[in-house]
Amino acid sequence: MDVLTGEVTVAHPELLDFETNPVFTLGVLVSDLNDATRRDAATVTIYLQDVNDAPQLPGQAFSVVDHALAGTIVGTVLSTDADQGTHGDVTYAITNGDPDHAFAIDPATGVITVANSSAIDRALTRSLF
Ligand SMILES: [Ca+2]
Ligand SMILES: [Ca+2]
């Protein structure tokens, strides 16, 4: 806070995290520059406005048996999102690495299933020869 103008600015942005602490209550003192005994104090409340944080997706590994039937559950991708409410909603998609659509991912739950059993076999064949 500027001593003369009273302007409140952000000094340490890393401390402003809505998910950690959404409200700051500051004790503020005003003093007469010529006579510090003439003063008043009050609390100033600062409410952080939530911003939509990006979800975090750590790398994960699953295994599935060869010749697994379509519909077999391979695993559930786990992600985190710091936000509450609709800003915490996420959707999943497979974007590459599966040209034959051997697998499917549930966009809402992150559950990966076998979508095309023969595509898994083809992929194995390709990698063997
Ligand atoms: Ca947030
Ligand atoms: Ca979010």
**Tens digit of pLDDT per residue, the chain (129 long)?**
888 898 989 998 888 899 999 999 999 999 999 999 999 999 999 999 999 999 999 999 999 988 899 999 999 999 999 999 999 999 999 999 999 999 999 999 999 999 998 887 755 555 554
Residue-level pLDDT at 124 = 54
72 CA from centroid of ligand 2 (Å):
30
End-to-end CA distance of the chain: 69
Residue 76: per-residue pLDDT: 97
Q: Supply the pTM of this predicted model.
A: 0.71
| Phi, psi dihedrals of residue 43, rounded to the nearest 5° | -95, 140
Residues 112, 92: Cα–Cα separation, whole Å: 10
**Cα–ligand 1 centroid distance for 54 (angstroms):** 8
* 75 alpha carbon – ligand 1 mean position (Å): 28
Instruction: Tell how far the Cα of 89 is from the centroid of ligand 2, in angstroms.
Output: 7
Tell how far the Cα of 80 is from the centroid of ligand 1, in angstroms: 12
